[in-house]
Structure 1
């Protein structure tokens, strides 16, 4: 990935110390820690869709009624039942 945008932010000392500490732990730069935090807080739409698909595929199987049963459940829900 090409890094072609520069960003300047002001943060307080405790946050800066946490960033430096994490960067040292990982043997990386403070900038890399910030980029990772951004990616975790604001995931790319494609990445969030991929993660959602993985969670669905990893879910435990559950019992599902046949087609007639599903239609009956939907009819009940739509009529304000349940």
Structure 2
């Protein structure tokens, strides 16, 4: 993920500070697939920091409830 974030930074840099092609002198545009990749990385961040922890917590809570129920039945 860190590598992808660094690439997002690079795309942002040449989007904010246009680069020129060495041969033609034309400004190098941000391509649609690069913009989509930025969105994918952002989605991965949300998944990593918000979705996955919530799913993991739900699984831990379910296991804890199961184990608590098992302890109650045996005692």
Structure with the higher fraction of residues in helix conformation: 2
State if a TM-score over 0.5 links the two structures: no
Normalising by structure 1, what TM-score?
0.27
Normalising by structure 2, what TM-score?
0.28
Higher relative contact order, chain-length normalized (CA < 8 Å, sep 6+): 2
